[in-house]
């Protein structure tokens, strides 16, 4: 079971890092607007998952629901804030902020539920937090304040979404229901943005949005709901802090972003914190 959880978690973290890179590329060099990216991402994820849920899952029992209004709202809030933030943030910095907020949200929920991290886990959390503080210190490489605020909002929404899915018995069906519930919200957002932002949907950007929605989001989030069965809220929060390192490396290697000393130091602290917290894992205590 632990090996299965580790494998699912590893695949999910790669998908999460891929989301950061796909979004940054579509909004940056491809020139797609963030609202259109969000809408296409959510709609493509909903379309693929609806087919997969019908083929791979048993039919719903009477009175059974796939997804929830809260899950759909959290997913939409995350996706929109995530896209808007990446207009000004680089892939690595955005991922650091995103999963720092995720960690804080899920850790708070775990503590409230009675989980008690070990001393080693607390040390890892503090090291990761130090990395985030270092990133946000004033300087030329510090992220844009508005983009940082949006990404922190996205992180809180994603933390809530993850917590809602910890007990999902049918991850594909639940994820499909959440995407289907978020689709109308995304369309309303697109219509509301028309007087403010002219839609820009270049072919390359559209393909990146579809890949983000169908593969790294739709399939990735289904895998994450499966992986969550083997995690406490604390370990689920901490392990996601490996994503910024993956996203930063991908941003440097694939998107031509600069490997600043600020990002290298912050990434090293976060990665070390994740390793320490994972090694210090123990089961939650009621």
**Is 90 exceeded by the pLDDT of residue 72?**
yes
- Which pLDDT does position 39 carry in this prediction? 95
Domain with 117, as residue range(s), is 2-279
Q: HSE-up of 120 (CA within 13 Å, CB side)?
A: 11
pLDDT over 90 at 195, yes or no? no
- More confident position, 133 or 229: 229
On whether residue 285 sits in a domain, the answer given is: no
Exposed / middle / buried, residue 166 (Cβ in 10 Å: 0-12, 13-18, 19+)? middle
- pLDDT, tens digit (0-9, with 9 covering 90-100), for 40-54: 999 999 999 988 888
Give the mean pLDDT of 191-211. Answer: 91
Whether 42 maps to a domain, the answer reads: yes
Which has the minimum average pLDDT: 27-36, 143-152, 231-240?
231-240
Q: Is residue 237 one of the residues assigned to a domain?
A: yes
Q: Span 166-176, mean pLDDT? A: 82
* DSSP labels, 100-131: HHHHHHHHHHHHHHT----HHHHHHHHHHHHH
| Residue 64, CA distances (Å) to 68, 71, 147, 162 in order | 11, 15, 39, 20
Q: Residue 187: what are its φ and ψ, rounded to 5°?
A: -65, -40
From 2, 21, 7, 3, select the one nearest 243 (Cα to Cα): 21
Mean pLDDT of 102-123: 83
pLDDT at 229: 83
pLDDT of residue 201: 92
Is residue 284 included in any domain, yes or no?
A: no
Is the residue at 256 inside a domain?
yes
Q: Which residue has the higher pLDDT, 91 or 243?
A: 243
Return the pLDDT at 140: 42
Alpha-carbon span 222 to 236, nearest angstrom: 15
pTM to 2 decimals?
A: 0.82
Average pLDDT over residues 270-274: 78
- H helices of the chain, in order, are 2-27, 34-56, 69-85, 91-113, 119-136, 145-164, 171-193, 203-211, 220-227, 233-239, 243-254, 261-279
Q: Give the mean pLDDT of the chain.
A: 83
* pLDDT score recorded for residue 284: 39
90 is a domain residue: yes
Residue 283: per-residue pLDDT:
42
Domain total of the chain: 1
Residue 286 maps to a domain: no
Between residues 121 and 153, which one has the greater pLDDT? Answer: 153
Quick: pLDDT tens for 204-256.
Answer: 999 999 999 999 999 999 889 888 888 878 778 878 877 877 777 777 777 67
Higher pLDDT, 167 or 225: 225
State residue 286's pLDDT score.
Answer: 38
**Among 51-55, 61-65, 202-206, which stretch is predicted with the lowest mean pLDDT?**
61-65
pLDDT of residue 139 exceeding 90: no
Residue 122 falls inside a structural domain: yes
Of 163 and 272, the structure prediction assigns the larger pLDDT to 163
**Length of the chain as a residue count:** 286
Query: Any idea which of 14-18, 82-86, 209-213, 234-238 has the lowest mean pLDDT?
Result: 234-238
């Amino acid at each position: 079971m632990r090996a299965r959880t580790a494998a699912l978690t590893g695949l999910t973290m790669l998908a999460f890092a891929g989301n950061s890179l796909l979004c940054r590329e579509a909004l940056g060099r491809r020139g797609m607007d963030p609202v259109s990216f969000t809408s296409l991402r959510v709609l493509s994820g909903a379309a693929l998952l609806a087919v997969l849920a019908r083929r791979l899952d048993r039919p719903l029992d009477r009175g059974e629901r796939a997804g929830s209004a809260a899950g759909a709202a959290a997913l939409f809030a995350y996706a929109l804030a995530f896209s808007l933030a990446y207009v000004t943030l680089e892939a690595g910095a955005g991922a650091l902020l995103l999963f720092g907020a995720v960690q804080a949200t899920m850790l708070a929920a775990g503590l409230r539920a009675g989980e008690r991290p070990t001393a080693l886990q607390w040390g890892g959390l503090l090291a990761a937090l130090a990395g985030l503080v270092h990133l946000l210190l004033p300087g030329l490489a510090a992220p844009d304040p508005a983009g940082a605020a949006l990404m922190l909002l996205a992180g809180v929404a994603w933390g809530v979404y993850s917590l809602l899915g910890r007990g999902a018995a049918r991850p594909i069906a639940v994820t499909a229901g959440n995407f289907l519930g978020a689709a109308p919200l995304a369309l309303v957002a697109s219509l509301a943005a028309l007087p403010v932002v002219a839609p820009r949907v270049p072919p390359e950007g559209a393909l990146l949005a579809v890949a983000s929605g169908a593969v790294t989001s739709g399939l990735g989030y289904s895998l994450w709901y499966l992986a969550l069965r083997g995690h406490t809220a604390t370990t689920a929060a901490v392990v996601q802090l490996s994503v910024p390192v993956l996203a930063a490396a991908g941003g440097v290697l694939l998107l031509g972003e600069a490997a600043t000393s600020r990002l290298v130091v912050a990434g090293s602290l976060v990665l070390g914190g994740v390793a320490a917290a994972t090694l210090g894992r123990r089961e939650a205590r009621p």
